[in-house]
Chains A and B, each alone.
Chain A
Amino acid sequence: MTLEIQNLHVRTEDREILHGVDLTVKRGETHALMGPNGSGKSTLANTLMGNPNYEVTEGRIVLDGEDLTEADPDERARAGLFLAFQYPATIPGVSVANFLRMAVNAGREEPIKVKEFGALLRENVDLLKITGDFTKRYLNEGFSGGEKKRAEILQLAMLKPAFAVLDETDSGLDIDALRIVSEGVNAMRTDERGFLIITHYTRILGYVRPDFVHIMLDGRIVREGGSELADELEQKGYEFVREEVAGSAG
């Protein structure tokens, strides 16, 4: 049971951004994808979900044997993929609770019962230490950066996908919020679920220890290793990796 990204080439209108990315995440594993700004991490995340702004010109995205490369975003979601967005859209006029109910129901044959939904929502609101009228507010409207990230993780917790991609979920969070979000993610790490944590910094990896680390530069994965790779990066920075790659290429 795996998410396989095979030789993925992706372009926007202007240019190719990903030049052949291979990455396999098995259920039960947590992978970190690290890289400087502009290296193609968010492009990969958006392409995994089928964002129409990105075109796959070569390669495949396969989930548990099913080729999703051409699938619509809603089919991918129902197949078990989830993306916590770096910059989630605002949905005016739709409360967090109503949005969650709709999303939960989208993955079910029969709509969830009111009581069951209420219990599920309460459980996850508590998990993420969400207080006040948060779930009654329109999704992301007037939310702070931290509130938006928390709303993303709340959706993750409610939808329980097989594979979750977290795109820069740590950026914009203060230490307390980072800890709460990380604890939420850790609570969801099970043998049944794979994570791909995309981050620029190493600090979330102090809370959510990855099993594997991949470093992306200029649209390619250039180094891979265990969690110790993140520690090395912490000490040496991306320039070190860049020089190393340039050296081996020369």
Chain B
Amino acid sequence: MPANPTRAHPAEPGASGLVEERRKAALQTYEVESVPTWRRSGFWTTSLRGLDLEALEPKRYEEGLPQLDLGDDQHSALIVQRGANVVHTDVADDRLIVMPLEQAVVEHEELVREYFGKRLPHDEDKFAAGTAAFWTGGVFVHVPANARIEHPIQIAWTIDEPGTAQWAHTLIVVGEHAEVKIREFFEAPDFEGQALHSGAFELYALPGAQVDLAHYQDWGRGEVYDLSTRRVEIRRDARVKWVPIHLGGRLTKQTLDIITAEEGSDMRHTGMYFTERDEHLDLFTSDRHEAGHTTGDTVWKGVLTGDSRASYEGLIHILPKAPEVDTYLQTHQMLLSPKARGDAIPSLIVEVDNVKASHGGTVGELDEDQIFYMMTRGVPRAEAVRVLVEGYFEEVVQRLEDPGLEDLVRRRIAEKLKGAEDQVREFIGERAEAV
């Protein structure tokens, strides 16, 4: 190990010196930065005024597997963090490294040193800095080159009680030509009171890797604030399919970036969200092409009920040295309540000639002609609405290509629609009468 004069504790094993330096620098940023307010498109504002940050603290739990709904019974590995610490790790496939990031810092120094924080600067904003400074536990996954892993690797983050601050970091390295399915879950029971999940996620798909990645977020009815940045880097001829599912959270502010970093890399990014009650969702995704001959395909669909607010902005960014890119982005949003407000903004920055890039977006309501059609087949209005919304999401759900997880998502959507049935009926009924 080379000497490092700035390291506070030179005797520390592994890469912990690197981590400690980052913590220190991040803490300085955290302390000087104020709590941000995000503004978009003139009128959209995401504010953390309602969050009492000082009242939250990390909470530690005994080891043991908590009750979780993960869709699939089988896994190649399962790692679960409750609050501030990892409480369960089960690695069924011994080719994999799946362990708390804290442990990997010591035991897999070279890998951690090479990738940790590579795409996640600690000073992007207060919460990025907070996460870099305060993370505990954490998840590290390494899939060795050429390994074909049949069952999914499951990662779960749970918040079990109000007052919790969860500072999270997940680092995943998928080796060359490896094939793997990775699912990361974010779950909380319905509780009264506030909690915070401030998350960092980075995944590196090395040349030729094939990654099937899904995120499933359902923070329940508690006041969980989720402020996260997730980045996926795709190297030469590698492919990542990424399906983020957002089914609940009092306030979610996330940045999801997918980067085709080298020639021949390909990404498929298909996401969905369902907001209800007074939830607030602010999503920014980017499809960033850093190299030529890369391909992309982004589709996001959302449904808004209750008094919820949802804003989605999807950017395609093609950098100067990236010719011959072929990519497109679509974003759709459906309002099922007169009090919900949303927007869906596709945008494009192209800094090179000779690329194919297109985008489109719609914001609308359920189609009354479709409802009428289904009713003429004897289907009551509420069921017609449910089926149409499920059908609308089906394109995204099927991209999971994972029957267990697909069923979990369908079940949750059906439950949420059941809960929203009365307001939907009223809303659609009003529209029908207005025609």
Q: How far is the CA of A73 from the CA of B432 in the complex (A)?
A: 13
Interface residue? A72 (CB, 8 A): yes
Q: Which residue of B is nearest A106, CB measured? A: B378
A73 close to B435 (CB less than 8 A): no
Majority secondary structure of chain A interface residues (helix, strand, loop or mixed):
mixed
Number of interface residues of A (CB under 8 A): 30
9 A-B pairs whose Cβ atoms sit less than 8 Å apart in the complex: A13-B435, A52-B435, A77-B377, A89-B374, A91-B388, A91-B391, A93-B390, A94-B387, A102-B383
B380 close to A92 (CB less than 8 A): no
Q: How far is the CA of A99 from the CA of B435 in the complex (A)?
A: 27
Chain B residues closer than 8 Å to A53, beta-carbon distance: 435
A51 close to B372 (CB less than 8 A): yes
Interface hub of B372, B376, B380 (most chain A Cβ within 10 A)? B376
Q: Which residue of A is nearest B390, CB measured? A: A93
Beta-carbon contacts under 8 Å, A99-146 to B: 99, 102-103, 106-107, 138
Interface residue? A74 (CB, 8 A): yes
Q: How far is the CA of A92 from the CA of B374 in the complex (A)?
A: 12
How far, in Å, is A80 (CB) from chain B's closest CB?
A: 10
Interface residue? A197 (CB, 8 A): no
A89 close to B392 (CB less than 8 A): no
A91 close to B373 (CB less than 8 A): yes
The residues of A with any CB-CB pair to B shorter than 8 Å are 13, 49-53, 72-74, 76-78, 82-83, 85, 88-94, 99, 102-103, 106-107, 138, 155, 159
Majority secondary structure of chain B interface residues (helix, strand, loop or mixed):
helix
Q: How far is the CA of A138 from the CA of B367 in the complex (A)?
A: 16
How far, in Å, is B410 (CB) from chain A's closest CB?
A: 11
How far, in Å, is B426 (CB) from chain A's closest CB?
A: 15
How far, in Å, is A93 (CB) from chain B's closest CB?
A: 3
B376 close to A49 (CB less than 8 A): yes
B392 close to A85 (CB less than 8 A): no
Known: A91-B388, A94-B387. A155 touches B377 (CB 8 A): yes
Q: Which residue of B is nearest A78, CB measured? A: B378
Chain B residues closer than 8 Å to A159, beta-carbon distance: 377-378
Chain A residues closer than 8 Å to B435, beta-carbon distance: 13, 52-53
B391 close to A77 (CB less than 8 A): no
A138 close to B391 (CB less than 8 A): yes
Q: How far is the CA of A125 from the CA of B432 in the complex (A)?
A: 35
Chain B residues closer than 8 Å to A85, beta-carbon distance: 373, 376
Q: Which of A77, A82, A88, A91 contacts B375 (CB 8 A)?
A: A77
Q: How far is the CA of A53 from the CA of B372 in the complex (A)?
A: 10
A52 close to B373 (CB less than 8 A): no
Q: Which 10 A-B pairs have the closest CB atoms?
A: A93-B391, A93-B394, A106-B378, A73-B375, A77-B378, A89-B373, A103-B377, A74-B375, A52-B432, A89-B370
Additional pairs, 10, CB under 8 Å, beyond known A73-B372, A106-B379 = A74-B381, A89-B369, A89-B370, A89-B372, A91-B374, A91-B388, A92-B391, A93-B390, A94-B387, A106-B377
Q: How far is the CA of A94 from the CA of B384 in the complex (A)?
A: 11
B368 close to A102 (CB less than 8 A): no
Q: How far is the CA of A72 from the CA of B380 in the complex (A)?
A: 9
Chain B residues closer than 8 Å to A49, beta-carbon distance: 372, 376
How far, in Å, is A162 (CB) from chain B's closest CB?
A: 13
Q: How far is the CA of A51 from the CA of B255 in the complex (A)?
A: 44
How far, in Å, is B373 (CB) from chain A's closest CB?
A: 4
Chain B residues closer than 8 Å to A88, beta-carbon distance: 373
How far, in Å, is B274 (CB) from chain A's closest CB?
A: 15
A72 close to B394 (CB less than 8 A): no
Q: Which residue of B is nearest A79, CB measured? A: B378
Interface hub of A51, A88, A93, A159 (most chain B Cβ within 10 A)? A93
Interface hub of B388, B391, B394 (most chain A Cβ within 10 A)? B391
B390 close to A74 (CB less than 8 A): no
Interface string of B195-218 (1 = CB under 8 A from A): 000000000000000000000000
Q: How far is the CA of A82 from the CA of B435 in the complex (A)?
A: 23
How far, in Å, is B368 (CB) from chain A's closest CB?
A: 7
Chain A residues closer than 8 Å to B432, beta-carbon distance: 52
